[in-house]
Structure 1
Amino acid sequence: MNTQANCESCALHNKANLVKLGIDLDQVDYVIAMAGNPNTGKSTVFNNLTGLRQHTGNWPGKTVARAEGGFSFNEKRYKMVDLPGTYSLLSTSTDEEVARNFILFGQPDVTVIVVDATRLERNLNLVMQVLEITDRAVLCLNLMDEAKRNNLEIDVRTLSKELGIPVIPAAARRRQGMNELLQAIEDVATGKYVCRPYKIKSRSTKLNHAIAELSAKLTKQFPNLPNTKWVALRLLEGDNSIIEAVRNGELGSISAGESGIQA
């Protein structure tokens, strides 16, 4: 496990942006996002962690439902937001746009990615996209009971090493792995575990040069914009929502809030 000096009050989420997104941060130390493909048991994991301390509503200006809840662990207070189930973050639907913008602009302290252990290869597409946006993530390898029933074996330690983040095997319907998941969330949130996420390295020299050049221009125009390289790549790929956000200045207003919150 990668470690650094423990920093129990070093929440890194973007308070101003989260408030814009309608998140109540009263008496909250850390903000956790929960992402995953549909039908991975994500809601079951969410319910196990938050219990009855949750409520539902819609995202501001959207018809997309949002569930959020809270829990305490080792005397720290966590707000967990269950993002819409999506297969990608490429913003081809409102659900994908909501999930992507929350991770990119809200900068949650930890993003928990719930995957189906019986369909791991299919689920890794979303995992890699999340790791392109954030360096703070935990993989919840759910439905391990189904994987075992189908004689599927997963080398959890190697998977964790390759991805550079904690990987927690779980069977949420049986409440298995939940305590280990809570501990992993705390370790990443406090900085006890420093993630070293796998990044795609197969881009051409020409594309990398274009990303660097555009990223520099974005930094100049939007000094507080997180992850300019990822935003630059989306612009180069023709992401209409990001292009429009640059044109109308929304990207600047979204990213201008003060980052962080005092615990």
Structure 2
Amino acid sequence: MRTYTIALAGNPNTGKSTLFNALTGLKQHTDNWSGKTVSLASGYYEYKNSRFRFIDLPGTYSLFSNSADEEVARDYIVFEKPDVTLLVLDSTALERSLNLALQVLEMTDRVIVCLNLMDEAKKKGIKVDAGKLAQKLGVPVIPISARNNEGLDTLSEQLLLMCTGSIRTTPYRMKYNERLEEEIAKLETELKLIVGDEYPARWLAIRFLDGDRKLIDTLKQKLAASDRGGMIYGAAKALGSTNR
């Protein structure tokens, strides 16, 4: 039985942990992620002869590494490369939730959006067109109510299809002004030579341009750990191009 890793991401109070508990039940425990002070809950769920290992990332409103929780969630998605990042959104407050969604879509193609709290949205008279949202975001969007166990079979099927390569996504990516896009493209090209397809070069370029020192240090450590010492210099050189 093959095991796939699913990272659960979302804002606080979106029902992310409720979904985690609904899927994993008692088959869960807490992991201490190497080098981090934040513990991550993990659990298992079996579906159609496959096993999903869920990692419940800290609830955050952004992934700009302004806190330990944000740094852990961001680094797990980028550097641990889960088979799917399951993004749990609050159907009653989509505008707030979509800020995080757009950041995650910059980081990975392997995303499924989960519209949780659909029962609450219905009570409040809020209608969400999941199909249209999926078209806009370029990834599957699944409406659910985790606490009522509604939509979980559909969600499980979509997870399996994405894990096995049966679903291809075209995630929405933010476009910036012409000058900034030129800078991103130049730095992305340099970083692509260093990281290849291992890490998201465009997203790294954006964060480098924003001066994200924590991310730069983490990337250098990752490159050193993989015995690509010469590429550390390349990363520093790429960073230097952002400080002109």
Question: What TM-score comes out, normalization by structure 1 length?
Answer: 0.81
Q: Which structure ranks higher in relative contact order (CA pairs < 8 Å, sequence separation ≥ 6)?
A: 1
Which residue of the partner structure matches residue 4 of structure 1?
Answer: none
- Provide structure 1 residue ranges, at least 5 long, that are not aligned to the other structure: 1-26, 258-263
User: Structure 2: where are the runs of 5+ without partners?
Assistant: 229-244
Counterparts of 2:22 and 2:89 in 1: how far apart (Å)?
A: 16
Mapping 1:1-263, distance limit 5 Å: 28-201=2-175, 203-223=176-196, 225-245=198-218, 249-253=220-224
**SS of equivalent residue, structure 2 residue 173:** coil
- My pick for the range that moved more, 59-68 or 136-145, is 59-68
Count of residue pairs the alignment pairs up: 228
Higher helix share: 2
Aligned-residue CA RMSD in angstroms? 1.8
Question: In structure 2, do the counterparts of structure 1 residues 99 and 191 end up closer, same or farther at CA, with 3 Å as the change threshold?
Answer: same
User: 1:159 and 1:224 mapped to 2: Cα distance?
Assistant: 28
TM-score normalised to structure 2 length? 0.88
> How far, CA to CA, are the matches of 1:185 and 1:256 in structure 2?
33
The residue type paired with residue 207 of structure 1 is L
Aligned residue for 2:235?
A: none
Report the alpha carbon displacement of residue 216 of structure 1 after superposing the two structures with TM. Answer: 2.4
- Runs of 4+ displaced beyond 6 Å: none
Query: How many Å separate the matches in 2 of 1:223 and 1:256?
Result: 15
Give the 3-state SS of the residue equivalent to 2:150 in structure 1.
coil
> Is 212-221 or 34-43 further displaced after alignment?
212-221
Q: Aligned equivalents of 2:142 and 2:226: distance in 1?
A: 32
Distance across 2 between alignment mates of 1:217 and 1:47: 43
Query: Alignment identity in percent?
Result: 47
Name the amino acid aligned to 1:206. Answer: R
Instruction: Output one character per residue of 1:57-86: Cα deviation in whole Å (capped at 9) or x when no partner.
Output: 332232212100111111112211111101
**Residues 187, 111 of structure 1: CA spacing in aligned structure 2 closer, same or farther, 3 A cutoff?**
same
